[in-house]
Amino acid sequence: MESESAMKITKNALEAITAHAKKESPIEACGYLAQEGCIITRHYELANIDRSPEHFSFDPKEQFAVFRDARSNGLEIRAVYHSHPAAPARPSAEDIKLAFDPDLSYVIVSLAGGKADARSFKIKNAKVEQEVLEVIDGDKL
Residue 108: HSE in the Cβ half-sphere, 13 Å Cα cutoff = 24
Min mean pLDDT across 33-42, 106-115, 132-141 is at: 132-141
Give the pLDDT score at 139: 55
In angstroms, how far is the first alpha carbon of the chain from the final one?
30
Q: Where are the domains of the chain?
A: 6-140
Domain formed by 6-140, architecture? 3-Layer(aba) Sandwich (3.40)
Helices then strands (H, E): number in the chain?
3, 7
Give the contacts of 40 (CB within 8 A, at least 6 positions apart).
Answer: 7, 8, 9, 10, 13, 33, 34, 78, 79
Give the pLDDT score at 1: 42
| Residue with the larger pLDDT of the pair 5 and 85 | 85
pLDDT digits (tens, 9 = 90+) for 40-53: 999 999 999 999 99
Question: Structure pTM?
Answer: 0.93
Q: Flag whether pLDDT at 16 surpasses 80.
A: yes
User: Which is nearest to 131 in space by CA: 118, 141, 116?
Assistant: 118
Give the pLDDT score at 140: 52
Asked if 46 and 62 touch (Cβ cutoff 8 Å), the reply is yes
pLDDT digits (tens, 9 = 90+) for 58-69: 999 999 999 999
List of E strands, the chain: 6-10, 30-36, 39-46, 76-84, 105-110, 117-124, 127-136
